[in-house]
Amino acid sequence: MGTATGIIRALNSGIKHMAIKRFTLRYPEEKLKFVGDGYQFDPSTGVGIAGLKGRHMLFHDHCTGCQLCSIACEGVAEAIAMVKVPEEQKQNKKAIMPQIDYGKCVFCGLCVDACPFYALYMTNDYELSSFSKEGLIYTPAQLAVKPYVAQDSEIQITARGATHG
């Protein structure tokens, strides 16, 4: 193959891209669709349930204040601190619950694996940016809120190329 033929073939391959569909995603308007409701863990079988590892969700009626999530995080990111909570739960005599600093969290999900009481899960919420360091620290009350996550785009493969439909 001659030099001229090779260059023309390379240009031709690029020109074909003018006809195929746009693959990029217009992020704040369109958001990716995820599998499930976030990463969860079933302590009875020891196997997790697939999902995005995003912001945590804490169930106050399940948490016993056993600190296992905090101990699991000690060797990883030291993001979890146990703090006093005002409300009194029957199963939580010490009234302490995890508070997570997302400035340190690496979203590995080992704290979810450590929880034996189905109290700590992860959710699809990944938009956690804040203007201050304090804004990244989520208290037990903030962690109890189930986030609303808009999901509309999924990769679709058509004859005219792939697109985020």
Partner 1 sequence: MTTEIMPGLALQKVDERIMTLNVGPQHPGSGHMRIVVQIDGDYIVACDPDPGYVHRGEEKMAEYRNYITNIPHLERPVIHDSCNVLYPYVLGAEELLGIEVPERAKYIRVIASELNRCIYIMYWLAIYGIFLGHSTMFMWPAGDREFLIDLMEKMSGARVTHAHFVPGGVRNDLPPNFEDVCLRQVNYFEKRIKEYAAVFYDNPILISRTQDTGVLSKQDAIRLGTTGSVLRASGVDYDLRVKEPYDVYDELDIHTNVMKEGDAYARSRIPWLDMMESCNIIRQALQKMPKSGSVRTKLKPNPKTKVPATVYKRVESGRGSLGCYIVSDGKTEPYRLKLSVPSFRNLIALPYLLKGEKLGNMPSVYWSLNYWPVEADR
150 lies in the site for partner 1, by CB under 8 A: no
128 lies in the site for partner 1, by CB under 8 A: no
107 lies in the site for partner 1, by CB under 8 A: yes
**What beta strand segments (E) does the chain contain?**
40-42, 47-49, 56-58, 80-84, 96-101, 120-122, 137-138, 155-158, 161-164
- Residue 98 CB, nearest distance to partner 1 (Å)? 16
- Residue 162 CB, nearest distance to partner 1 (Å)? 6
For residues 60 and 98, give the distance between their C-alpha atoms in angstroms, rounded to a whole number: 10
| Torsion angle (degrees, nearest 10) of CA 32, 35, 38, 43 | -160
Count the site residues for partner 1 by CB under 8 A.
44
162 lies in the site for partner 1, by CB under 8 A: yes
Answer for the pair 165, 156: CB distance below 8 angstroms, yes or no: yes
- Residue 71 CB, nearest distance to partner 1 (Å)? 9
53 lies in the site for partner 1, by CB under 8 A: yes
